Amino acid sequence: MASTGADDLYDYIWKVVLVGDSGVGKTNLLSRFTKNEFNSESKSTIGVEFATRHVTIKGKTIRAQIWDTAGQERYRAITAVYYRGAVGALVVYDITKSQTFDNLNKWLQELKDHADSSARIMIVGNKSDLRHLRAVTQEEGRLLAEKHKYSFIETSALDASNVGEAFNNLLVDIFKSQVEDPT
Ligand code: GDP
């Protein structure tokens, strides 16, 4: 969406969704990126929520509207409206829980079914601070991403490692596909 008036504070507004099993750290990745906050409580509110952050890429201001399932995935499948209009997705697993990695196939299929085929996808292995509990190697994450031609990164919402990179790299990827090389 191009800027149309002097009051506009951004050039583009993009919807990005967070998906992945309950407990992998989606809410904390979002709060780390948008508010620089971390919450160690596992209880989350039910219902779809989003938070926004403005980023600048090549002189353009992007209003990133990042959606969080906020626990919805625990009780039922996420509704199609969650994915509608998304130009990017962070697909998150917990590096200490192989089940959350195995379930990525389910989440990737959901994205294929409901999101636009041009949406850019990044696979995110979260909780990299818990090295001693690691159950999924970096190599496994990287190989899965390579297989699908998606990006890959490991993050820690707790110590903030790579969180900015995860969101920013995805937004740069979206910028390339939406602005620089739209097909
Ligand atoms: P969600 O259900 O995917 O939104 O996950 P939450 O963000 O609610 O996080 C679930 C639990 O994992 C909470 O207890 C968080 O404090 C914890 N958690 C989230 N991210 C990290 C992380 O990077 N490292 C560690 N050690 N714990 C995390």
Cβ of 168 closer than 6 Å to ligand 1, yes or no, is no
Q: Tens digits of per-residue pLDDT, 46-62? A: 555 889 999 999 999 99
Question: What is the band of 3 on the pLDDT scale with cuts at 50, 70, 90?
Answer: very low
| Closest residue to atom 7 of ligand 1, CA basis | 25
pLDDT score for 45: 57
Expressed in angstroms and rounded, the spacing between residue 94 Cα and the centre of ligand 1 is: 9
Query: Within 10 Å of residue 172's Cβ, how many Cβ atoms?
Result: 17
Token pair listed for 11: 């050039």
User: ipTM of this model?
Assistant: 0.99
Q: Tens digits of per-residue pLDDT, 13-54? A: 999 999 999 999 999 999 999 989 888 876 655 555 889 999
Cβ of 72 closer than 6 Å to ligand 1, yes or no, is no
> Considering the chain, what is the average pLDDT of its residues?
90
**Could you give the percent of the chain with pLDDT greater than 70?**
89
Contact in structure between 162 and 155 (CB atoms under 8 Å) = yes
For β-strands 60-68 and 49-57, DSSP reports them as antiparallel
Contact in structure between 26 and 92 (CB atoms under 8 Å) = yes
Mutate to test the pocket of ligand 1, among 18, 21, 28 (most ligand atoms within 8 A of CB): 28
d(CA 59, CA 67): 25
d(CA 161, CA 165): 8
Calculate mean pLDDT across residues 140-151: 98
Q: Tens digits of per-residue pLDDT, 108-129? A: 999 999 999 999 999 999 999 9
Which atom of ligand 1 is nearest to 22's Cα? 2
